[in-house]
Structure 1
Amino acid sequence: MADLSAVEICAGAGGQSLGLELAGFGHAVAVELDENAANTLKTNREQWDVRHGDVADEGVWNPKEFLDVDLLAGGVPCPPFSIAGKQLGATDERDLFAWAVELAGRMQPRAVLLENVRGLSMPRFSAYRQHVKDRLRELGYWSDWKLLHASDYGVPQLRPRFVLVALRDEDAQWFEWPEETPYQGTVGTALFDLMAADGWLGAEAWRRKANDVAPTIVGGSKKHGGADLGPTRAKAAWRALGVDAMGVADTPPNEKHPVDFMPKLTTEMVARIQGWGPDPEYDWQFTGRKTTKYRQIGNAFPPPVARAVGTSIADALNRQGQPKESSKVENEVMHDRLYLALKSASTPLTERDLVKLAGEKINSVTFERRMAALARDFVIDEDDQLEGRAYQLVGFKGFIGQEQHERHARFAEHRSRIS
């Protein structure tokens, strides 16, 4: 029986859900927009309270009914930060990262776990990260970000994920990021039994050729076509491993296929690469047709990685291990000093004043580029003065729960294509 409780938002098909369960968290509720993914959750855990719909709609679930849970967790949508997308950040109707931080303020969980794509760790979003970290501190949470690679936690693919963990000050001193347990095999060793299941005579030769971990599985979104294993560079990496990445197969190759045949992966194989199976405790069933299953699997947080991070959080909440000294707990990483300078100013400041206050040596070209990036996520007033143009931070463009925010109209317009 789990001794800790969790609310999971944007739960997907259950990668994070299963990992957290194995780490000792029982689900008070799991909320998911995609109907097929919600059905997958219900199929695997009939006893869970699974809600289907927009997580920001209190008609779907009411956060007030789940106050003071141990953990608020979620894999909030990735497209706002994806390198493969437009990186719209706060102005993307799918962005729920800042909203999830405000949700933590309303619910007051002991800990928060949010994961997203590597793109959120890039310089483009340094001010966004600073905003999140500052807001969490205002709400009473210590926080830290870390880029984790799935292959470092027993999963046979690279899959970098940018993970945020936040805890109350009294629990933060007990938190340690999980130790790495690198995957010891290859795509070939991970999938050999599945690739040979229908009698393909080339399976052994294929196993030897598939001699590295997999590139990142790309689930994609409803805005794009059917299932394939990623962009051009990823397809080339799969080809080097002996895999045809131009789609997903219904069945593995059989005795009628030539020995030198280049197979496609089945959804079962993709799930294995993502961290489901072969160990029975990672067994999971996916609902829907092939492409639907593939998207559920490909968009998931690998269960072993979620389990590793979840275990570290559970250990902190249960006061396991040795607490750190207070001086070692404080994380004073500054993600964007120019944003901090803008935020601290009560009156408009010129470029010269802002650069001096930020303590950075940057030229005017770099300054303009940085300000343009800031203006994508924040409202910045500009005023021409005798000393030059002056800037003042007015607000954050992102959705944090406002009833009249334009996110609602855009979300309603594009809902059928949001995933």
Structure 2
Amino acid sequence: MTELNVVEICAGAGGQSLGLHLAGFRHELAVELDETAATTLRNNLARLSPTADPAELVKVGDVADPGVWKPEDYAGRVALLAGGVPCPPFSVAGKQLGAGDERDLFAWAVHLTGRVRPEALLLENVRGLNDPRFGGYRQAVVDQLEDLGYRADWKLLHAKDYGVPQLRPRMVLVALRPEYVDYFEWPEPKPTTLTVGSALVDLMGANGFRYIDEWVERANSIAPTIVGGSKKHGGADLGPTRAKRAWEELWVDAHGLANAAPGEDWEREEHPRGPKLTVDMVARLQGWLNEPDYKWHFTGMKTSHYRQVGNAFPPPVARAVGESIARALRKEGVAGTLRADLKMHDEVYHILRDADDFLTSYRITQLLGGRLSVNDVEKRIAHLRHDFNVEERRSGARSSYLLGEWRAFQGQSDHKRHEAFAARRSRGRIS
């Protein structure tokens, strides 16, 4: 393809948007729920795409609401469908409800792929989605995309491997139409040489901080994963207790954010944990670029600004994946990563999915050639029950199972998401 256009859902303030822009993609549309983040996104995309109508470039509202946008308007004319769908359903910081969480939009995004029919799909989410608990969920995503005519693969990527001075592992899904599969290769890791100290030395020392040399020496590692948080969790700070301890080892006070860098009068006795970071410092650690042509301008107050920065997909990581997709769509090079045998995320799900009748755990172990024990199969089925309807039939002490519907939201008119989302919106709590 010569024209690389993109429709982006759950776009936030534009971390993925900026990365994709730098990879050569141009937005046809971005959809975001939070009004402040959407304003940030609209202002910046309008600057990068001066010929586009800002009102049509960014739509504000629930991405699954047909009143916000019509996916069929973009059907068959989009190179890439991309997004960072909500993380709470899979986050280890939450309850990991998966399909049982009304905020889950991953399955809906797969369904959307069949409606928009892009050449490629890119979705990212938290590391928790890689847990064994979600093996069946991941396998369902891969299998449904295959049914839609795409070859898909999951990869756990670490921001530190793409020039970003923080950990930030993310699960990334890429799917391509068959004609591009032979040309795709996951981006090659290039670990960052930056530390928190070396990345922020100019910003931290901007107001005459007299301990700057010592601070740089002590902040001699990459940052823990930056956590943007949600509206219901109060003000801005740098994460839970464990993360705060990691920050303190870098001589950074993670209990809130500063409005400005420390000045000449900053005293270590008054601040034993160290200086606090500003939002601009956090943005740099998140990989937002500082070049004048691509400097991102954020709207809203400090806490909102921090959430927009902290919840984003780091632009350098989005750029690296975007460039790999762009090369595949142009059919440049021969790698064939997705042509190889892909990882089976849940063999038990796969067997139950194709079964016409009830199967016992013992029968499933036989079909797997003994690779899993009956006990292991039962554990997998227990995981599947969280996200799928699993019918059980008992005969004496023996149970047999039949896999039913995926309970995840895929646009069903009677799904509980509609009621839950309406209640959440009426309380002004949309994240």
TM-score by length of 2: 0.93
Paired AA for residue 40 in structure 1: T
**Alignment partner, residue 114 of structure 1:** 123
Superposed counterparts of 1:200-349, under 5 Å: 200-258=209-267, 261=271, 262-322=274-334, 324=336, 329-349=339-359
How far apart, CA to CA, are the structure 2 residues paired with 1:322 and 1:125?
32
Kept after mapping to 2: 8 A contact 1:200/1:259 = no
* Displacement of 1:203: 1.6
Superposed counterparts of 1:100-249, under 5 Å: 100-249=109-258
* Displacement of 1:45: 2.1
For structure 1, which segment, 335-344 or 55-64, has the greater mean C-alpha deviation from structure 2 after superposition?
A: 335-344
* Number of residue pairs matched by the alignment: 416
**Alignment partner, residue 408 of structure 1:** 418
* Displacement of 1:307: 0.4
For structure 1, which segment, 382-391 or 199-208, has the greater mean C-alpha deviation from structure 2 after superposition?
A: 382-391
* Displacement of 1:111: 0.2
How far apart, CA to CA, are the structure 1 residues paired with 2:293 and 2:227?
24
Superposed counterparts of 1:79-94, under 5 Å: 79-94=88-103
Kept after mapping to 1: 8 A contact 2:153/2:342 = no
How far apart, CA to CA, are the structure 1 residues paired with 2:371 and 2:329?
42
RMSD over aligned Cα atoms: 1.7
**Alignment partner, residue 26 of structure 2:** 26
How far apart, CA to CA, are the structure 2 residues paired with 1:218 and 1:324?
35
Kept after mapping to 2: 8 A contact 1:340/1:358 = no
How far apart, CA to CA, are the structure 1 residues paired with 2:340 and 2:149?
13
Paired AA for residue 358 in structure 2: P
Deviation string, structure 1 residues 202-242 (Cα, Å, up to 9, x no partner): 12221111001101000111221211111111111100111
3-state SS, counterpart of residue 329 of structure 1 = coil
3-state SS, counterpart of residue 94 of structure 2 = coil
Paired AA for residue 85 in structure 1: G
* Displacement of 1:389: 1.7
**Alignment partner, residue 70 of structure 2:** 62
How far apart, CA to CA, are the structure 2 residues paired with 1:349 and 1:387?
14
TM-score by length of 1: 0.96
3-state SS, counterpart of residue 276 of structure 1 = coil
The unaligned stretches of length 5 or more in structure 1 are: none
* Displacement of 1:418: 3.0
Kept after mapping to 2: 8 A contact 1:13/1:41 = yes
How far apart, CA to CA, are the structure 2 residues paired with 1:106 and 1:180?
33
Deviation string, structure 1 residues 351-375 (Cα, Å, up to 9, x no partner): 2112222334545544433222110
The unaligned stretches of length 5 or more in structure 2 are: 47-51
Kept after mapping to 2: 8 A contact 1:201/1:258 = no
1:207–1:282 distance in 2 versus 1, CA, 3 Å: farther
Paired AA for residue 6 in structure 2: A
